[in-house]
Amino acid sequence: MSVNRNFAPHSQETIQRKKPPACDSCKARRVLCHPTRDRTPCPRCLEKGIRCTTTPVARGRPPKSNLGVVPPRVPRVRSGPTMASAISLGEVKARPSDSVSASVSDSASTSSSSLDFSGHPELTPELVYHLFECFTHLSHHHHPMFCGDVLRKSLASVSWNIHRIPPQLRVLAHCVLALSASISFNNAIIGPGSTPASLVDRSVFTRGADLRDYGVRRTPTYRLLCAEALRLASKTDILLEPTEVNAISCFLLQLLDNEKPSRPYSVAYLSHVRSLCGSWDEDTVSQNATIWTGFLVMEVVHSILRRQPILVSYYDQLLITGREPLSLHHLFLSLQTAVQGLKDRGIIPLTATRPYLFHITRLARELYENITGDFPRRNPLDEGSVTEFISSLKYLRSIHSLIFQEDKPDPAGASFVSSTHKPARNLSLRSCAYIMTLSHAALVIALHRELVHRASILSTHASGTPSNNWAAERLNQWGHQVREIADITVLDVARALRSMPSLPQVAHGHRGVVVAWAEFCLDEADAAGSLSPERATAVETISEALKLIGYSWPIPTGLVERLDAYIDMRRPSLPALLEDPIFFDLFPAALDNDWVMMFTAAR
């Protein structure tokens, strides 16, 4: 019998000719890649003129087969030392390469504190899996550049041992874990004591609940996880190498390290996005235009509340989100026509969200460059800029009122939208109302703060000259107009909070806005000595929202107590808040928590 002696060489030749793995760009776009063996760019990357990189993925059987599948239900951790206390006691497995010191800012304090982070926290596969699942409840999970499937497959291939994945993916994974720690209900994160059974535990997550203790208890562990993510980022080239993995890592790192005035990760994030989106085709831009508009608004809202430069340029808006929409005036007229002609009026908020948010970003940039920035503060207020900005705020309020058909806000109303819609449509409309209201409110409070600041300076250096008297009179007129807008806006904020789509949207997207309006209400109440019944109802809602936000973050000391003191003065005369069971789910199921479906529904 003849023997095929060419079998072994033929097998070796087959193995040698195995196709190399696809590059990161082709893998992210899910297109066929034609990789080369000589480390030259693949044809697609060469044609687009982008850097062709390939992140190695661990293959083969994991060394510990018993960890191959992590149970969907994460076992509860017994009472005992938390991750933070274990680290401080040296009860972690230290590796020499990971022993460094990292500094992280304490969001509950005005000054930064330095932490000694020796060794890597012992993140068990079960805890990593749990935190990764928690991340699906955050809006950041829906970022267009977040490669969730790639990260999940990479972690699953190494049995969720986070230290075994490639360096740049490891940075992203640690960013995900750190941010997820802000909503985790695991004892290893929150610490000893009572914890929710899950994110849908109705005995804990209910309206009126005071969850601030959870935020205080989780802070030490959260800060350590942030420090580790920042430490790993400093050891890689994520600031220099523009890839989608590095871009989304920088996006998350800016949230973990948001106290530095230079904001290196914000700068790198937008720089990477500019570099990457230059190769997008028109269909890709159009498909994600509204989602990107929402994330750009998140960036600028954070900046204007801190009076920081707006890093998103007008060119960025056009490059990332497409063509410029109608002006505010023409947008209002077109929506007015649509309201009169369309039978299904529920589609109007979905189609108006993108142009509305585009103008929010534009106005935030104009506000800093012409009114609140460091350079404008060196000079007298530009009357034309202030007048035009106030006019734009009124247009935004008119568009909002037109879309949601409310001539006068009802402080005790449950929401901007009716609960008669189907659940999916109702969630979309609530999301539209929420993000449009809170982003507009951020502009109003930023302008109000600047006018108050200018008035205090003018009163301190008043010389009684005709020019100073005229400037004080004009400033008083602008302040009166903005206060009128603010009086309406605070009621809108309260209604938006009562119909918030999910707790993470408030706690992680607009916490600063809620705190700013709480401080505004206190300043007004301190000046007047009490609250009107209408304002007291809104303040009660804001106070309840802060108590819920406290599940994730520490709330400024004494803020809630001061609000409640004024509420108690009006307690007998307060109307009962309308409640709808549909609003009780503060953590909707992951599939129902896709807040960006309000964007995709408009296409």
- Collapsed DSSP state (helix, strand, coil) of residue 552: coil
Same domain assignment for residues 38 and 146: no
**Amino acid (one-letter) located at 301:** V
Neighbours of 271 (CB within 10 A): 16
Reported as a pLDDT band with limits 50, 70 and 90, residue 597 is very low
pLDDT per residue over 117-138, tens digit each? Answer: 443 457 999 999 999 999 999 9
- Collapsed DSSP state (helix, strand, coil) of residue 99: coil
pLDDT at 10: 44
User: For residues 215 and 551, is the Cβ–Cβ distance under 8 A?
Assistant: yes
- Tokens standing for residue 269: 């994030």
Same domain assignment for residues 208 and 285: no
Please check whether residue 87 lies inside any domain of the structure: yes
pLDDT at 377: 94
Q: Which residue has the higher pLDDT, 51 or 541?
A: 541
Same domain assignment for residues 178 and 211: yes
Same domain assignment for residues 321 and 376: yes
Task: Pick the last residue of a domain from 30, 54, 78.
Answer: 54
Same domain assignment for residues 71 and 40: no
> Rounded CA gap, 94 and 392, in Å?
56
DSSP H/E element including 113 = strand 113-115
Please check whether residue 263 lies inside any domain of the structure: no
Same domain assignment for residues 456 and 320: yes
Reported as a pLDDT band with limits 50, 70 and 90, residue 6 is very low
Please check whether residue 169 lies inside any domain of the structure: yes
Q: Which CA distances in Å does 405 have to 35, 269, 359?
A: 56, 38, 21
The count of structural domains within the chain is: 3
Same domain assignment for residues 28 and 120: no
Q: Give Cα 191 to chain centroid, integer Å.
A: 25
Please check whether residue 431 lies inside any domain of the structure: yes
Reported as a pLDDT band with limits 50, 70 and 90, residue 348 is confident
User: For residues 582 and 419, is the Cβ–Cβ distance under 8 A?
Assistant: yes
Task: Pick the last residue of a domain from 254, 288, 310.
Answer: 254
Please check whether residue 13 lies inside any domain of the structure: no
Same domain assignment for residues 245 and 307: no
> Rounded CA gap, 454 and 76, in Å?
54
pLDDT per residue over 79-122, tens digit each? Answer: 334 444 443 333 333 333 333 333 333 333 333 333 344 434 57
Same domain assignment for residues 411 and 551: yes
Domain limits for position 513: 280-600
Same domain assignment for residues 231 and 322: no
pLDDT at 572: 62
Reported as a pLDDT band with limits 50, 70 and 90, residue 577 is low
Instruction: Name the least confident of 21-30, 256-265, 315-324, 444-453.
Output: 21-30
- Collapsed DSSP state (helix, strand, coil) of residue 523: helix
DSSP codes, 520-566: HHHHHHHHHSS--HHHHHHHHHHHHHHHHHTTTSPPPTTHHHHHHHH
Please check whether residue 236 lies inside any domain of the structure: yes
Same domain assignment for residues 235 and 284: no
- Is the pLDDT reported for residue 506 higher than 70? yes
Please check whether residue 49 lies inside any domain of the structure: yes
Same domain assignment for residues 326 and 366: yes
Mean pLDDT of 529-552: 93
pLDDT at 573: 60
pLDDT per residue over 188-221, tens digit each? Answer: 999 889 999 998 888 898 878 999 999 999 999 9
pLDDT per residue over 13-36, tens digit each? Answer: 444 556 788 888 888 777 888 888
pLDDT at 42: 87
- Tokens standing for residue 399: 């568009």
Q: What is the DSSP letter of 102?
A: E
Query: Which of 190, 168, 176 minimizes the C-alpha distance to 137?
Result: 176
Please check whether residue 487 lies inside any domain of the structure: yes
User: For residues 588 and 427, is the Cβ–Cβ distance under 8 A?
Assistant: yes
Neighbours of 153 (CB within 10 A): 11
Q: Give Cα 482 to chain centroid, integer Å.
A: 27
* Angle value at C-alpha 347, between 345 and 349, nearest 5 degrees: 95
Task: Pick the last residue of a domain from 9, 28, 54.
Answer: 54
pLDDT at 220: 94
- Collapsed DSSP state (helix, strand, coil) of residue 115: strand
Output the domain CATH number for residue 28.
4.10.240
